[in-house]
Amino acid sequence: MNLEQVIALLEQHQNPRGIEHWQKMNNTGGLSSYGIGLTQQRKLAKQVGKNRELAAQLWQQPNYDAKVLGLLIDNPKQITIEQAEQQVEQLAGGMLCHVFSSCDATLAKSPIAFQVAENWLSSEDPIRRRCAYGLVYELSKKKSKFYDDSFFMSVINLIDSTFVNQSRPVLLAMGGALLGIGKRSAELNIASVALAKKIGSIDFNEDGQTCDPFDVLKHLTNDRLKEKLGIS
């Protein structure tokens, strides 16, 4: 499929309710949207197939859904650090940051994911820090020869020493990272639970939303997870 065909595909699947919600948001970065949910986007990505050249073209569009689809169809094996650095500078909308680094993101599947996460965890740029914690969440679900539980313990310590006065988006990303880390092992769970108690529930409501706050502690202390990790 070419760019014109993919844009037509997005138009065919536009969601009026999603568009209406998008127009009420204040973190769209000036991007338009067809209001398509991520689940549907993943289905469309499978329909289009991996295509690195097309992914680059979609990324240049002033449309949120086109950019998301571009992220989903890119080839993770070919993503470079230079590309990641360029794209992170172009994350116009808050929601795009989340899809870029988490949500089973293509970047997280790339060979450079761990190096990028390490670099961005100590960045002065809050967007890079937010994306770094999104990547940590994705990395926490995998086994690798490049990192082990000692890396994730260092991330817990970093969050512990820096979470105060963080912006809400970065704090939410930190909470997401803790959620993933705390499911890896009993030791990491105990450390994550202790920190989650200090941080407390994280309110993410904006634009008139009334959702329950993000309660990391609740997710890390459920009986099923404790049984799985052998925690009494």
pLDDT at 105: 76
Query: Are the C-beta atoms of residues 52 and 84 closer than 8 Å to each other?
Result: no
Task: From 203, 139, 136, select the one nearest 167 (Cα to Cα).
Answer: 203
Torsion over CA: 41, 216, 94, 207 (sign) = positive
Token reading at 189: 């769970």
Give the residue carrying structure tokens 């990303």: 173
Give bridge partners of residue 32 from the DSSP assignment.
Answer: 63
Q: What is the full per-residue pLDDT of the chain (232 aa) written as tens digits?
A: 999 999 999 999 999 999 998 998 877 888 999 999 999 999 999 999 999 999 999 999 999 999 999 999 999 999 999 999 999 999 976 789 989 998 877 899 999 999 999 999 999 999 999 999 999 999 999 999 889 999 999 999 999 999 998 999 999 999 999 999 999 999 999 999 999 999 999 887 665 566 788 999 999 999 999 999 999 8
Token reading at 199: 């941080």
pLDDT at 203: 84
pLDDT at 102: 86
pLDDT at 140: 97
Q: For residues 91 and 95, what is the distance between their CA atoms, to the nearest angstrom?
A: 9
Task: From 131, 129, 202, select the one nearest 172 (Cα to Cα).
Answer: 202
Query: Are the C-beta atoms of residues 132 and 176 closer than 8 Å to each other?
Result: no
What is the domain partition of the chain in residue ranges? 1-74, 97-232
In order of 7, 11, 163, 172, the CA distances from 14 in angstroms are 11, 5, 38, 28
pLDDT at 205: 66
